[in-house]
A and B are shown apart, each in its own frame.
Chain A
């Protein structure tokens, strides 16, 4: 599996670390339903069989966080972009 890092080009998967699903931003700890939101944020996963948005970190490269769209059934990578370019 190779990930097309927008900065470094296509690089071997062993250079990367994955954090898993690219979920939304961290919930507001001051919100009244913070406990419920943090439970969902920390523990629950969509875990789809198919294209999935994930956060990957190019640890042995440019050290950028990437948002990668990858098909979990085939390991095929559709796109990889710098995570900071997306909405936070």
Chain B
């Protein structure tokens, strides 16, 4: 059913009895043209664009848990395209453009809010680094504004400008960046895909691949064998585990990152702010909770929870940046499992197994990438060639030495 003011009015007048389920919880069929593994943001977006842009509707999305049970529901909801390297900027800017028209496109309120993302700098050297990044963005047609201290003070007077160790000198602002309602992104894509005939199958874990003569012909699951001409892998933190079922080793480690939400408070933080001297980023949800996070815990983990030293580190960063939040109480914290790649950039590519495609290595940037990752992965699945915006995200780039190392950290996934 199409959502509109008219449908709202009609249902309001008939006691809201006319609403139908947002998407269909399907039983698996025996065979599909394409199977996407993982009903998270990326998998659902891929299925949606396969159906909508490429007319491939005989598609199943298999999910081991429930829809949106992974990182699409465990992030800090930030969207931005403030990258440095050409291979990354083009992709993330395409994602930002898709975010900007997403709600009209899939007819669902994803609460996309372009409230601005501000990265603070605290030294002259850091200012130069940010100026360079801002210039790289502008050269690619992305908006970027380098603000000085007074401009930041006019925007955010509550920051700790005169901290003895890390005084705030200014910031790099991307006005088009912001936040989106993460769960609604999953639901919107699920609905759009389901309406076009895609089967979303929950509680269906893939336990093996059926490979004949180097070509994929289906998957083994906890609900039986399902045949498919093509299979796409969009399983984020579980990428190494699932790829191992097809005999592959990936340049990926799984790490836990923690995020936090406070009790609801009155409107306080107008945009997304990141602390340049530690690793701390914060925004405020429409419900009033402060949503924030920091660094990885640093060790490999599949546990979806972290440890207290990182909690303390994140909170110290927050209080150093804005002392006023010192007495705000934390309501919840959680961990998500990140597929940290060896160069900090993602992979959208074919694999050595014909018909098996890989979408992985999103580090902690998977949420903002959801629309473009779905778009480009669908393109790869449908046409067997990479989309121009994701042309740099090749699996063989590590062996070729053509890494996309945004931070210059080297092959140490926990440092990206």
Contact = CB atoms under 8 A, between A and B. Distances in A.
Interface string B354-374: 000000000000000000000
Contacts of A72: 254, 300-303
Q: Which of A39, A43, A46, A72 has the most CB of B within 10 A?
A: A43
B404 to A, nearest CB: 13
Nearest to A56: B299
Interface of B: 238, 240-241, 244, 249-254, 298-303, 307, 309, 342, 398-399, 411-414
Contact of A13 (B249, B303, B307): B307
Contact of A12 (B241, B251, B299, B309): B309
A49 interface: yes
Q: Which of A1, A39, A47, A49 has the most CB of B within 10 A?
A: A47
Interface of A: 1, 12-14, 17-18, 20-21, 36, 39-40, 42-49, 52, 54, 70, 72-75
A44 B251 CA distance: 4
A42 B414 CA distance: 14
B302 A43 contact: no
B180 to A, nearest CB: 29
A44 B395 CA distance: 11
Contacts of A12: 309
A42 B411 contact: yes
A contact patch SS: mixed
Closest 5 CB pairs of A and B: A47-B240, A14-B309, A43-B251, A43-B398, A49-B302
Contacts of A46: 240, 244, 249
B251 A45 contact: yes
Nearest to A47: B240
A56 to B, nearest CB: 8
A47 B252 contact: yes
B342 A20 contact: no
14 contacts: A13-B307, A18-B298, A42-B342, A43-B399, A45-B240, A45-B250, A46-B240, A46-B244, A46-B249, A47-B241, A47-B254, A48-B241, A74-B303, A75-B307
A52 B249 contact: no
A42 B307 CA distance: 28
B414 A20 contact: yes
Q: Which of A21, A49, A54 has the most CB of B within 10 A?
A: A49
B251 A75 contact: no
Nearest to A41: B411
A35 B252 CA distance: 19
B398 A1 contact: no
B399 A47 contact: no
A1 B253 contact: no
A18 B414 CA distance: 9
B299 A49 contact: no
B307 A20 contact: no
Contacts of B309: 12-14
